Chain A
C-alpha cells in the first residue's frame, strides 16, 4: 500500500510568483486536505476536496486554490506569493467524505518565498 506522496520536496520562489504543489493520495482514499504549517506552529487547514469538489475551507484567501483529479490526486495553487506564505505545506488523504475518519499525512513540501 503506497502512502501519501508530495512533490516537490523543497521549493524556492520570489514574491509575486505563482506556485503549484502536488499530492498523490493513499490508495483507496477519495478525500484530500491541504494544510499550511508555519515554523513553530501547528498545521492550519486550507481546504478539503472530496470527489473533485471543494467541500470545506479554512480561513485562507482566494489566491489559495486547488484541484482534485479523477484519480483523487490533488494540486494546491498559490498565486501572488507573499513572504508569509513561506511554510511547510502538508497534504492529507482519508477514506470517505464528511466523516471524521483519520487522515494520513504526506511528508510535506517546504516552500520558501524570497
Chain B
C-alpha cells in the first residue's frame, strides 16, 4: 500500500499557484519525498524530491514540514499543460521501486 495520502482531485486557475498537499505520517528518517506527474497517455515525469529541507527547481517547489509528516508541492504559475495526475511518493534508498498511490488529478482551468 502507498504510504501517502493525497486528495483525489483539485482545480486551479491558470496563472495562479497550484498547491498540492500530501500526508506521509509514517515516513522513516531515511526516506525521501518524491513527486512525479503523469500527463494523460504518457509515462510519469519526475518533478522534484527532498529529505527535510525545502527544495526548488525550474519546475516546482517542495515544502516539507518540520516533523516531515506532510509536504506541499507548489507549481508557482500553473498553465493548462500542468493538467495531470500528481503522485507523492516516499522512498528510501533501496531497490524496491516507486510505490504509486492514486495521486491527485490537478485540473488547470482557463
Contact = CB atoms under 8 A, between A and B. Distances in A.
A108 interface: yes
A36 B110 CA distance: 33
Interface string A63-101: 000000000000000000000000000101000011110
Interface residues of A, number: 28
A1 interface: no
Nearest to A105: B43
A33 B91 CA distance: 15
Interface string A19-41: 00000000000000101000001
Contacts of A102: 34, 46, 49
Contacts of A92: 43-44
Nearest to B89: A42
B101 interface: yes
A42 B94 contact: no
Contacts of A42: 2, 85, 87, 100-103
A66 to B, nearest CB: 13
B43 A56 contact: no
Contacts of B85: 42
A32 to B, nearest CB: 11
Interface of B: 2, 32, 34, 42-46, 49, 85, 87, 91-103
Given A42-B87, A56-B94, A104-B46, 9 more contacts: A33-B98, A35-B100, A42-B100, A45-B97, A90-B43, A100-B49, A102-B46, A107-B42, A108-B42
